[in-house]
């Protein structure tokens, strides 16, 4: 049976998964009844630029939007605090699994990784767009799979910006090279770029034969958390979480699930993963791109939309990017030529 939305009224204090201790924040969302989400007709495509190429005007607009989001009252489900808590609630074992209340929900390290984050970003982006009254607003992607993007994008590194987060590893501000194998071993700086490209080729092409290899393992009602991540989730995705967060056990903000959403750079990290998902589906050609089981396609989650309504979304509605109404700036994909 596919997973379905948790009962928000039964949300409880979760667990800090880095330390195993109970969380000291409450990340449960406001309680409401959901309705089923219908994809609105696409009238304006949203454009997602590469963060390192974004114009001054774009950056000013994005900063303004995040500033306004941070100024919303904390109990507004669209506020920056509540939006960060969405990640915590769905990851840090706060929700009972509908249908098997002995188990807790955790969408990572499983086949929910891509669709769940896609929906999370989708609503986050629409909330920001609404705050600045711009229906074409798209979030920037951190283009870390391409050498010019292999540093923290400058817009996130300016201390006085709403995109800045002091809870980071301050040794990794620009010009430090983002290391996609970061957790593995101390790397030789002269090889980071080449190793990153090789890592991308492995995660996107060489290491993927079955769908599970890319997406992660099946997770349905009755599954225990963390059945197994796909190549990107395990590799570059996790490495950069750890690389951005503080070098402590608890790793705030980015290096810990409960706090990752407090880091504005988190969203650009995941927008790039969203983009890589789209690229991967294109690279598949005539091979299957998606699981065709109802256990995946009919899985559903809840989010607050830009009008603060709680809505239920399905995996099957997340697969067609054109219907979701956004596109990515085209940039080089150098790892495609980096077959080891």
Say whether 112 is catalytic: no
* 112 annotated ligand-binding residue: no
Q: Is 275 in the site for ligand C2O (CB under 6 A)?
A: no
State yes or no: is 241 an active-site residue.
yes
Place of tokens 């995109």: 163
104: closest CA among 176, 19, 183, 14?
14
83 near 261, Cβ under 8 Å? Answer: yes
- Look up 108 and say whether it is catalytic: yes
Is 269 annotated in a binding site? The answer is: no
- Is 241 annotated to bind a ligand? Reply is yes
Tokens 């789209």 belong to residue? 278
CB closer to ligand C2O out of 130 and 241: 241
Q: Is 130 in the site for ligand C2O (CB under 6 A)?
A: no
Q: How far is the CB of 321 from ligand C2O (least distance, A)?
A: 19
Distance CA 75, CA 315 (A): 28
Both tokens of 301, joined, read 């989650």
Kindly report the backbone phi and psi dihedral angles of residue 17, in degrees, each rounded to the nearest multiple of 5, phi listed first.
Answer: -75, -15
Q: Token digits for 156?
A: 């996130």
257 is catalytic: yes
Residue 52 binds ligand C2O, judged by CB under 6 A: no
Least distance between ligand C2O and beta carbon 72 (Å)? 22
Which residues sit opposite 48 in a β-bridge?
Answer: 328
SS3 70: helix
Q: How far apart are CA 212 and CA 97, in angstroms?
A: 22
Provide the 8-state DSSP code for 254: T
Site string for ligand C2O, 222-251 (x = CB under 6 A): ---------------x---x----------
Residues in the chain: 340
Q: Is position 121 an interface residue for ligand C2O (rule: CB under 6 A)?
A: no
The stretches of the chain forming alpha helices (DSSP H) are 56-71, 80-91, 113-131, 192-201, 211-215, 231-232, 238-244, 257-260, 264-283, 294-297, 321-324
Q: Which of 237, 267, 269, 303 is catalytic?
A: 237
137 noted as active-site residue: no
Task: Determine if 118 is a binding residue for ligand C2O (CB under 6 A).
Answer: no
Question: Which listed residue (260, 265, 271, 311) binds ligand C2O by CB under 6 A?
Answer: 260
172 an active-site residue? Answer: no
Least gap, CB of 189 to ligand C2O (angstroms): 25
On whether the CB atoms of residues 242 and 255 are closer than 8 A, the answer is yes
Applying CB under 6 A, among 48, 78, 108, 112 the residue interacting with ligand C2O is: 108
Query: Which residues inside 80-99 make contact with ligand C2O, applying CB under 6 A?
Result: 87, 91
**Based on CB atoms, which residue is closest to ligand C2O, 85 or 241?**
241
Sort strands 310-314 and 35-36 into parallel, antiparallel or unpaired. parallel
59 or 315: CB nearest ligand C2O? 315
**Bind-site residues for Cu cation:** 87, 108, 117, 237, 241, 270
Active site residues: 87, 108, 117, 237, 241, 257, 270
What residues line the site for ligand C2O (CB under 6 A)? 87, 91, 108, 117, 237, 241, 260, 270
Q: Cite the annotated binding site by residue number.
A: 87, 108, 117, 237, 241, 270
């Amino acid at each position: 049976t596919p997973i379905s939305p948790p009962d928000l009224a039964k949300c409880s204090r979760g667990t800090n998964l880095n330390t195993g201790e109970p969380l000291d924040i409450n990340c449960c969302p406001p309680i409401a009844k959901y309705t089923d989400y219908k994809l609105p007709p696409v009238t304006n495509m949203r454009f997602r630029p590469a963060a390192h190429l974004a114009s001054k005007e774009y950056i000013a607009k994005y900063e303004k939007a995040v500033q306004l989001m941070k100024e919303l009252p904390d109990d507004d489900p669209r506020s920056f605090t509540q939006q960060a808590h969405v990640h915590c609630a769905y990851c840090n074992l706060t929700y009972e699994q509908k249908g098997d209340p002995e188990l807790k929900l955790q969408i990572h390290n499983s086949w929910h990784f891509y669709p769940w984050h896609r929906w999370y970003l989708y609503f986050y982006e629409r909330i920001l767009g609404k705050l600045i009254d711009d229906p074409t607003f798209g979030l920037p992607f951190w283009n870390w799979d391409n050498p010019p993007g292999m540093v923290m994008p400058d817009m996130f590194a300016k201390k006085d910006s709403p995109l800045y987060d002091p809870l980071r590893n301050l040794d990794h501000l620009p010009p430090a090279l983002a290391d996609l194998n970061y957790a593995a071993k101390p790397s030789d700086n002269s090889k980071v770029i080449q190793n990153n490209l090789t890592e991308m080729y492995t995660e996107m092409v060489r290491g993927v034969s079955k769908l599970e290899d890319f997406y992660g393992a099946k997770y349905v009602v009755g599954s225990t958390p963390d059945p197994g991540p796909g190549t990107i989730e395990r590799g570059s995705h996790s490495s950069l979480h750890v690389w951005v967060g503080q070098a402590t056990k608890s790793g705030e903000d980015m290096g810990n699930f409960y706090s990752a959403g407090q880091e504005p750079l988190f969203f650009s990290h995941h927008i790039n993963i969203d983009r890589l998902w789209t690229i991967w589906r294109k690279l598949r050609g005539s091979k299957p791109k998606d699981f065709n089981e109802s256990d995946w396609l009919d899985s559903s989650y809840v989010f607050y939309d830009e009008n603060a309504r709680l809505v239920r979304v399905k995996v099957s509605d997340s697969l067609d990017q054109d219907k979701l109404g956004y596109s990515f700036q085209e940039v080089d994909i150098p790892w495609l030529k980096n077959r080891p």
